[in-house]
């Protein structure tokens, strides 16, 4: 049955809107108002160049990592509705991913991470809005037990997006996105995300082999976070043309950030190309020790210098001011 399950799951992953530069999760075939949570024990969810982590516990019939869903019920409270987005479906599509507790998306090579759409799940969103047996109502002075919890009602629920290399080392900045925030002096500004929101990662210039996700809440107890540790994900857009070779060589650049003039030095002989964030090559020059490039006519933003020699290839980020 295990072999059959693997074959069944693989047969139901077809190339649809998903591609090497976009994850819409539409290539996962689901019945209407259903989900895939890893109960077939495949242990991961492969979609083209990406693998979403998934772990299923047969004893407890529970899972963590990622599930794929098209459930639209955003009004039913509680754990039984854990696969629904608070937005009531996907972001401009039927399918979307649901995250629980801990999970990683791993790519088959380093990718430039451009953006992703996120929202709360119905389970987490309703819990924060109304409170439940285990978690507080956000903005309340009291915890779920009815006693003051010390937050003064200044609650928050934040998603940490952590870029990693293939060795699980941090590359670039961790991005923090608040799925709920009740810390404003004007309470009318307090919010719980219930629509799909695009997180633009292009200003961070992230090139990563993996994305790790961590949730943090102001509502915690003796067993950890009380707020349900879920969020929903859709439309992850990456750029496969700009990356850092795993078989890299060494070169240096200065000044970086630069206002225009950029000096590149290396003991290698080869070729240097400058690319924008869309992978478009702006210049391509031969290299033998030192080269000076004039970027004064390029708009401010993030670019990439790729050095190629007979010994390998390496890419570094350039910040043009």
Domain ranges of the chain: 2-239, 252-320
Say yes or no to pLDDT of 133 above 90.
yes
Q: For residue 270, what are the CA distances in angstroms to 276, 286, 313?
A: 20, 6, 10
**What would the DSSP string read from start to end of 201-228?**
-GGGT-EEEEEEEEEEES-EETTEE-S-
The mean pLDDT value for 286-298 works out to 87
pLDDT digit string, tens, across residues 168-220:
999 888 999 999 999 999 999 999 999 999 999 988 878 899 999 999 999 99
Say yes or no to pLDDT of 268 above 90.
no
Q: What is the rounded CA–CA span in Å between residue 40 and residue 58?
A: 10
pLDDT at 244: 43
The verdict on whether omega for the bond into residue 257 sits within 30 degrees of 0, i.e. cis, is: yes
Q: For residue 51, what are the CA distances in angstroms to 21, 43, 47, 210?
A: 13, 10, 6, 9
pLDDT at 319: 83
pLDDT at 42: 95
| 2-239 and 252-320: identical CATH topology | no
Which top CATH class is 252-320? Answer: mainly beta
Alpha carbon dihedral 3, 5, 7, 13, in 10-degree steps, equals -150
The answer to whether the beta carbons of residues 245 and 313 sit under 8 Å apart is yes
CATH number assigned to the domain with residue range 2-239, chosen from the 4 options 2.60.120.1350, 3.40.190.10, 1.10.540.10, 3.30.499.10: 2.60.120.1350
Percentage of the chain modeled with pLDDT above 70: 92
pLDDT digit string, tens, across residues 16-43:
478 878 899 999 999 999 999 999 999 9
The mean pLDDT value for 102-109 works out to 94
Say yes or no to pLDDT of 311 above 90.
no
Q: What is the rounded CA–CA span in Å between residue 90 and residue 96?
A: 5
Nearest-CA neighbor of 305 among 288, 281, 286, 278?
281
Lowest mean pLDDT among 94-103, 112-121, 275-284: 275-284
The mean pLDDT value for 72-94 works out to 97
Say yes or no to pLDDT of 122 above 70.
yes
Say yes or no to pLDDT of 15 above 80.
no
Residue 15, burial from CB neighbour count under 10 angstroms (0-12, 13-18, 19+): exposed
Q: What is the rounded CA–CA span in Å between residue 281 and residue 288?
A: 20
The answer to whether the beta carbons of residues 253 and 307 sit under 8 Å apart is no
> How high does pLDDT run on average in the chain?
88
Lowest mean pLDDT among 139-148, 163-172, 262-271: 262-271
Percentage of the chain modeled with pLDDT above 90: 61
The answer to whether the beta carbons of residues 151 and 134 sit under 8 Å apart is no
The answer to whether the beta carbons of residues 148 and 247 sit under 8 Å apart is no
């Amino acid at each position: 049955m295990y072999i059959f399950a693997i074959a069944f799951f693989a047969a139901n992953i077809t190339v649809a809107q998903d591609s090497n530069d976009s994850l819409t999760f539409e290539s996962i075939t689901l019945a209407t108002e259903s989900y895939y949570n890893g109960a077939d024990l495949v242990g991961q969810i492969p979609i083209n160049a990406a693998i979403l982590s998934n772990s299923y516990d047969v004893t407890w019939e529970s899972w963590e990592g990622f599930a794929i869903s098209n459930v639209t019920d955003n009004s039913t409270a509680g754990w039984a509705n854990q696969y629904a987005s608070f937005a009531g479906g996907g972001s401009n599509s039927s399918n979307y991913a649901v995250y629980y507790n801990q999970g990683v998306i791993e790519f088959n090579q380093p990718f430039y991470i451009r953006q992703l759409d996120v929202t709360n799940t119905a389970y987490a969103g309703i819990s924060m809005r109304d409170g439940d047996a285990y978690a507080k109502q956000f903005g309340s002075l009291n915890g779920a037990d009815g006693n003051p919890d010390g937050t003064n009602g200044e609650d928050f629920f934040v998603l940490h997006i952590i870029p990693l290399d293939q060795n699980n080392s941090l590359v670039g900045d961790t991005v923090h996105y608040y799925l709920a925030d009740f810390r404003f002096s004007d309470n009318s500004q307090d919010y719980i995300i219930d629509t799909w929101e695009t997180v633009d990662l292009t200003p961070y210039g992230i090139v990563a082999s993996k994305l790790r996700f961590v949730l943090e809440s102001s509502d915690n107890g003796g067993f950890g976070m009380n707020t349900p540790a879920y969020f929903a994900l859709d439309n992850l857009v990456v750029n496969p043309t700009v990356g850092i070779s795993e078989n890299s060589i060494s070169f240096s650049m200065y000044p970086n950030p630069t206002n225009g003039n950029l000096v590149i030095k290396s003991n290698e002989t080869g070729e240097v190309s400058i690319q924008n964030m869309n992978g478009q090559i702006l210049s391509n020059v031969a290299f033998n020790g030192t080269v000076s490039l004039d970027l004064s006519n390029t708009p401010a933003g993030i670019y990439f210098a790729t050095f190629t020699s007979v010994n390998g290839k390496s890419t570094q980020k350039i910040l043009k001011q």
